[in-house]
C-alpha cells in the first residue's frame, strides 16, 4: 500500500495544474524489483532492469540502474543506455539536461552528452524553461536564486529566496520578507511583491494567494478573480477549486461550473473525464460534473489520451474511456515521474544538487611547514597569543593540549580546529600549597589540525586526507612507523602524522626535538 499512499499524497497536495499532456507512448511501470516500459496495449517494450525510470522527454528517458552502486543515465526508445554514470541528473527539457558526476559541479549536456554549460559555484540547478534555468548559491548560510541561459551565463543574479519557472515570459519570485512578486526575463520586477503564494502564468493569468485565499491575476497584476477559494489549480481552460474542504471547478472568470462536492479530485488533463473520490472509491466525471465511470477504484489518475491508470486492490491497471480495463491490473507501481507528469507537473527529476567537493581549498588550508605561520621548533605561547588574539583563559590549566582555533569554516563542506601542546602553566609554591601560573614563554611542542566535514561529505575523509598528504613535498613516508590506521612522514626537522578519528581528519605536526617529550606525556 506504499504506492497508494504516494498517489493520494501527490493528488491531494498537487498544485501544478493540468495542461493537456502529450500522449505517452512508453509507460514506466514496476512489476517485481525493477521498472520496465510497456506500450499503451500493455506489451513489454523495454525489459525490467531499472531502479528508477521516467517518461520520455526530448526523445530521452532518465533511468537509474539497479545493483549495488546505482547510477543515473539516459535511454532512447530502443532501451539502450546512451549516457550513464551520473550521481544526479534531471530529465531533458528544451534539448538540455543537468547532470552531476561524483565530486563534480552541475553541467548541462545535450542528447549526445556534450557539455554545453558548467555551473561551478551553484548549489542547486533546475531544468530549463523558456530558455532559462534557475540556480542557487549559498552565501553566508543563505540560499539565493537566480537564472542562467543555455550557455551558462548568469542572466539574473542570485537574489531571491525562492523562484518558480518562467512561463509567458514571467516568473514568480519570493523576497526576504516572504512575499511573492513576478519578474521578467531581465530580472525586472513587473508585479510587486505582495502575495503569500504565486503560480506560473498560463493563458496570461496566474493563480496567487493572499490571506489564505486564492484568486487569479492578469499580466498587469490586477485581479480578474478575487481571492475567494481555499485552493486553485490550473486545469487547461478551467480551474480546480477548493471550497469548504470540497473540490470542484470554475472557469477563468471565477464562475463555478462544477460545484465543490468531492472529497478529493484530480485534473481533467485535457480529457473529457476527471477522477474524483466518491465515498471510499474513485470514479470519473465529465465536464458537466456527471458520473461517467462509476466509483469502483481504490485510486485513480487522470487520463492520458484514451487510457487512465487505476489502482484496483493491490495492483495497477489501465482503463479505457468507458471504464473497462484495456490492461488488466498486474503492476505493483507506477513511476513517480509518470504521476507528476499526469498531474501537470514537469516531472520528479527537475533539479540537481552539486557534488562539487572543493578538496583543494581544504588541503591548501593545512600548512605543515609552518602551521599558522609558526616555527616548528621555536614558537612560544606568546607568539600564538599575539597572532590569534588569545588570552590566558584560552589555555587549559589541567592539560597540556590547548585548542586555539575552533570550528573555522574553510568551505561549505568543511571546518577546521587546531590545538597545540605546551606546558602553559607552571606550578609555583604558595605557602603550604602550590598554584598554577600562566607561562607565556612556554615552548610549543606540537600542532594538531582537526578537519570536520559536513554531513553531506561524510565518508570522504580519506579523499581529503590523501589530498593533504600530497602537499608533504619535503617529507618522506616512514614505512616502519606507519600503520593501517596512521601514516607517518618525517624529515630532519619534524614528524607529521595523519589519520582519521571519529570522522575527523587529524594532521599532527611535531618538531623532532619534541617527539621524545610527547611520547613521555
List the grid coordinates of 380.
Answer: 612560544
- pLDDT of the residue at 518: 55
Question: Which tens digit of pLDDT belongs to each residue from 326-350?
Answer: 999 999 999 999 999 998 777 899 9
pLDDT given for residue 355 in this prediction: 92
Mean pLDDT of 373-391: 93
In this prediction, residue 226 carries a pLDDT of 97
Among 10-24, 205-219, 249-263, where is mean pLDDT lowest?
Answer: 10-24
Give me the pLDDT at residue 1, please. Answer: 38
**Average pLDDT along the chain:** 92
* pLDDT (mean) for 61-83: 94
Q: Which of 303, 332, 353 is a domain's end point?
A: 353
Q: Which of 353, 387, 403 is the last residue of a domain?
A: 353
- My answer on whether 344 and 382 are in the same domain is no
The answer on pLDDT for 21 being more than 90 is no
Cell of 7: 498517489
What would the mean pLDDT of 363-386 be, rounded to a whole number?
93
Task: Give the model's pLDDT for residue 13.
Answer: 39
Q: What is the largest CA-CA distance in the chain?
A: 103
What is the CATH classification number for the domain harbouring 61? 2.140.10
Q: How far apart are CA 96 and CA 92, in angstroms?
A: 5
The answer to whether residues 415 and 451 touch, using CB atoms and an 8 Å cutoff, is: yes
Q: pLDDT band for 517, please (50, 70, 90 cuts).
A: low
Q: How many domains does the chain have?
A: 2
Reduced DSSP (H G I as helix, E B as strand, rest coil) percent helix, strand, coil of the chain, to 5: 10, 50, 40
337's CB contacts (< 8 A; 6+ apart) are 28, 52, 53, 54, 55, 62, 91, 347, 348, 349
- Residues 293-326 have pLDDT tens digits of 999 999 999 999 999 999 999 999 999 999 999 9
Claim to verify: residue 380 and residue 397 sit in the same structural domain: yes
**Of 337, 353, 369, at which residue does a domain stop?**
353
Output the pTM of the full model: 0.82
Residues 198 and 261 in one domain: yes
Give the pLDDT of residue 488. Answer: 97
Averaged pLDDT, 145-150: 98
Parent domain of 109: 2-353
Contacts for 131 with CB less than 8 Å, ≥ 6 apart = 94, 149, 150, 166, 185
Same domain, 292 and 364: no
pLDDT of residue 431: 79
Which has the minimum average pLDDT: 6-10, 123-127, 163-167? 6-10
* Predicted local distance difference test score (pLDDT) of residue 344: 79
Please provide the DSSP assignment of 497-520 as one string: EEEEETTEEEEEEEEHHHHHHHHH
Do 394 and 498 lie in one domain? The reply is: yes
> What percentage of the chain has pLDDT greater than the value 70?
94
- Of residues 274, 310, 320, the one with CA closest to residue 4: 310
Check whether 516 has a pLDDT greater than 60.
Answer: no
Q: Are residues 215 and 289 in the same domain?
A: yes
Binned at pLDDT 50, 70 and 90, residue 38 comes out as very high
Q: Distance between CA atoms of 444 and 466, rounded to whole angstroms? A: 27
Please indicate, yes or no, whether residues 329 and 382 belong to a single structural domain of this protein.
no
What b/e string do you get for 450-459 counting C-beta neighbours within 10 Å, with b at 16 or more? bbbbeeebee
- pLDDT value, residue 520: 56
Both 407 and 440 in a single domain? yes
Both 60 and 163 in one domain: the answer is yes
Q: Are residues 20 and 147 in the same domain?
A: yes
Query: Are 284 and 301 in the same domain?
Result: yes
Same domain, 136 and 32: yes
Q: Are 134 and 143 in contact (CB under 8 A)?
A: no
Enter the C-alpha cell of residue 277: 473520490
What does the pLDDT read at residue 347?
83
For the record, the C-alpha cell of 53 comes out as 525510470
Amino acid at each position: 500500500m506504499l504506492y497508494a499512499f504516494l498517489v493520494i499524497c501527490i493528488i491531494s497536495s498537487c498544485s501544478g495544474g493540468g495542461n493537456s499532456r502529450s500522449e505517452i507512448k512508453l509507460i514506466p511501470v514496476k512489476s517485481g524489483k525493477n521498472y520496465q516500459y510497456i506500450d499503451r496495449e500493455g506489451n513489454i517494450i523495454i525489459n525490467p532492469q531499472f531502479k528508477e525510470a521516467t517518461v520520455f522527454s526530448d526523445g530521452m528517458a532518465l533511468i537509474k540502474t539497479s545493483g549495488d552502486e546505482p547510477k543515473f543515465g539516459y535511454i532512447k526508445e530502443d532501451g539502450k543506455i546512451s549516457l550513464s554514470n551520473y550521481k544526479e541528473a534531471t530529465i531533458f527539457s528544451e534539448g538540455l539536461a543537468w547532470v552531476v558526476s561524483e565530486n563534480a559541479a552541475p553541467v548541462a549536456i545535450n542528447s549526445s552528452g556534450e557539455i554545453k554549460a558548467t555551473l561551478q559555484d551553484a548549489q542547486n540547478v533546475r531544468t530549463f524553461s523558456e530558455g532559462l534555468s534557475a540556480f542557487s548559491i549559498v552565501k553566508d548560510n543563505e540560499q539565493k536564486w537566480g537564472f542562467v541561459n543555455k550557455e551558462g551565463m548568469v542572466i539574473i543574479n542570485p537574489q531571491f529566496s525562492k523562484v518558480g519557472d518562467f512561463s509567458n515570459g514571467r516568473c514568480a519570485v519570493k523576497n526576504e520578507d516572504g512575499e511573492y512578486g513576478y519578474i521578467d526575463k531581465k530580472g525586472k520586477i513587473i508585479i510587486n511583491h505582495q502575495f503569500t503564494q504565486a503560480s506560473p502564468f498560463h493563458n496570461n493569468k496566474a493563480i496567487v494567494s493572499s490571506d489564505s485565499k486564492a484568486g487569479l491575476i492578469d499580466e498587469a497584476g490586477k485581479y480578474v478573480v478575487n481571492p475567494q477559494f481555499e485552493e486553485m489549480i490550473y486545469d487547461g481552460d478551467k480551474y480546480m477549486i477548493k471550497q469548504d474542504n470540497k473540490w470542484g471547478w470554475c472557469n477563468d472568470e471565477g464562475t463555478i461550473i462544477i460545484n465543490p462536492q468531492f472529497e478529493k479530485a484530480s485534473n481533467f488533463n485535457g480529457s473529457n473525464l476527471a477522477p474524483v473520490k466518491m465515498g471510499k472509491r474513485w470514479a470519473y466525471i465529465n465536464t458537466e460534473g456527471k458520473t461517467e465511470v462509476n466509483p469502483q477504484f481504490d485510486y485513480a489518475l487522470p487520463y492520458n489520451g484514451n487510457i487512465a491508470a487505476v489502482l484496483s486492490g493491490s495492483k495497477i491497471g489501465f482503463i479505457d474511456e468507458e471504464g473497462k480495463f484495456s490492461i488488466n491490473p498486474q503492476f505493483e507501481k507506477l513511476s513517480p515521474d509518470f504521476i507528476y507528469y499526469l498531474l501537470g507537473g514537469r516531472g520528479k527529476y527537475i533539479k540537481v544538487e552539486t557534488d562539487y567537493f572543493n578538496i583543494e581549498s581544504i588541503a591548501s588550508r593545512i600548512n605543515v611547514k609552518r602551521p599558522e605561520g609558526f616555527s616548528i621548533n621555536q614558537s612560544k605561547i606568546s607568539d600564538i597569543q599575539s597572532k590569534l588574539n588569545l588570552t590566558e583563559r584560552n589555555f587549559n590549566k589541567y592539560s597540556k593540549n590547548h585548542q586555539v582555533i575552533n570550528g573555522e569554516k574553510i568551505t561549505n563542506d568543511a571546518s577546521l580546529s587546531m590545538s597545540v601542546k605546551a606546558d602553559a602553566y607552571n606550578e609555583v609554591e604558595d605557602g603550604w600549597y602550590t598554584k598554577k601560573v600562566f607561562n607565556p614563554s612556554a615552548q610549543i611542542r606540537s600542532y594538531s589540525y582537526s578537519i570536520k566535514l559536513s554531513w553531506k561529505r561524510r565518508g570522504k575523509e580519506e579523499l581529503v586526507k590523501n589530498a593533504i598528504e600530497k602537499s608533504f613535498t619535503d617529507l618522506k613516508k616512514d614505512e616502519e612507523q606507519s600503520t593501517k590506521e596512521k601514516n607517518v612522514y618525517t624529515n630532519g626537522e619534524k614528524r607529521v602524522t595523519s589519520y582519521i578519528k571519529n570522522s575527523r581528519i587529524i594532521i599532527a605536526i611535531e618538531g623532532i626535538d619534541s617527539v621524545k617529550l610527547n611520547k613521555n606525556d
